[in-house]
């Protein structure tokens, strides 16, 4: 019941055109089922094994979002299951996903992760790398992926104005790349977590990824 109340509260703060991904990593299947039973269908996982285990036993209409750092040797576990992979941070990973999708005769939806934060620990491509990727039409080398947009994380423990600025930078980049890339499916801007999602929505997010608020603290 606790989880269902949290979702009801959250839903009041999220406009209908913004997708809510319930980040269920490190939480049990029972927690996901509670959220599922009040209508949630988008769930986020960060580890290939955990995703595989959960997807096997939970309803098939769940849209699984892969949001963790993905090693190339785990790609084959994730590609057949994932609705959207948010965390593509290198061309090498993009190539591995493309090859795996081709082998499985499918098109894999991905977001490119952008490094907008100050912390050195955060993954992601640089703004320059991404701009070059699209202006040189590099994406044509990956016919079995659909690049559906961008993902980013703000600096941990930043103040409000810095976080806002980082999200604003990402939104501006998104619009610029959308203009260059001009594919109709390039329309997702994944930004905002428990501590900063209201700001992210104000700055143009189309998809928030929220774990702690819904499911409580994770036990690692």
Ligand X SMILES: *Cc1c(COP(=O)(O)O)cnc(C)c1O
Residue 93's Cβ-count burial label (10 Å; 0-12, 13-18, 19+) is buried
- Nearest distance in Å: CB 193, ligand X: 4
DSSP notation for 156-188: TT--HHHHHHHHHHHHHHHHHHHHHH--TT--E
Is 26 in contact with 54 (CB distance < 8 Å)?
Answer: no
**Taking the complex as a whole, how short is the minimal distance between the CB of residue 205 and ligand X, in angstroms?**
12
In the bound state with ligand X, the residue whose beta carbon lies nearer, of 85 and 108, is 85
By C-beta, is 149 or 211 nearer to ligand X? 211
User: Are 70 and 93 in contact, with CB atoms under 8 Å apart?
Assistant: yes
Minimal distance, residue 213 CB to ligand X, in Å: 6
Whose Cβ is closer to ligand X: residue 144's or residue 194's? 194
Contacts with 72 (C-beta within 8 Å, 6 or more apart), sequence order: 92, 93, 96
**Min. distance of Cβ 46 from ligand X in angstroms?**
5
Element (H, E) at 147: strand 145-152
CB of 162 or CB of 194, closer to ligand X: 194
**Chain residue at closest Cβ approach to ligand X:** 211
3-state helix, strand, coil in the chain (%, to 5): 45, 20, 40
Residues that bind ligand X (CB under 6 A): 23, 25, 46, 67-68, 153, 193-195, 209-212
Output the smallest distance, CB 161 to ligand X, in A: 20
Of 113 and 134, which has the nearer Cβ to ligand X? 113
């Amino acid at each position: 019941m606790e989880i269902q109340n949290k979702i009801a509260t959250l839903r009041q703060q999220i406009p209908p055109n913004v997708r809510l991904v319930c980040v269920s990593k490190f939480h049990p299947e029972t927690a996901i089922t509670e959220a599922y039973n009040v209508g949630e269908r988008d769930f986020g996982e960060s580890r290939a094994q955990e995703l595989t285990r959960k997807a096997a036993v939970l309803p098939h209409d769940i849209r699984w979002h892969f949001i963790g750092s993905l090693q190339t040797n785990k790609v084959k576990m994730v590609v057949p299951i994932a609705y959207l992979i948010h965390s593509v941070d290198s061309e090498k990973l993009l190539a591995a996903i493309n090859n795996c999708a081709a082998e499985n005769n499918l098109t894999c939806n991905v977001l490119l992760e952008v490094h907008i934060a100050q912390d050195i620990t955060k993954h992601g491509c640089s703004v320059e790398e991404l701009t070059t990727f699209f202006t040189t039409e590099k994406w044509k080398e990956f016919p079995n992926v659909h690049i559906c947009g961008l993902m980013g994380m703000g600096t941990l423990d930043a103040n409000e104005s810095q976080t806002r600025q980082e999200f604003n930078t990402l939104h501006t980049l998104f619009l610029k790349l959308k203009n260059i890339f001009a594919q109709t499916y390039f329309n997702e801007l994944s930004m905002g977590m428990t501590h900063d999602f209201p700001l992210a929505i104000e700055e143009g997010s189309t998809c928030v990824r929220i774990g702690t608020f819904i499911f409580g603290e994770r036990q690692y």
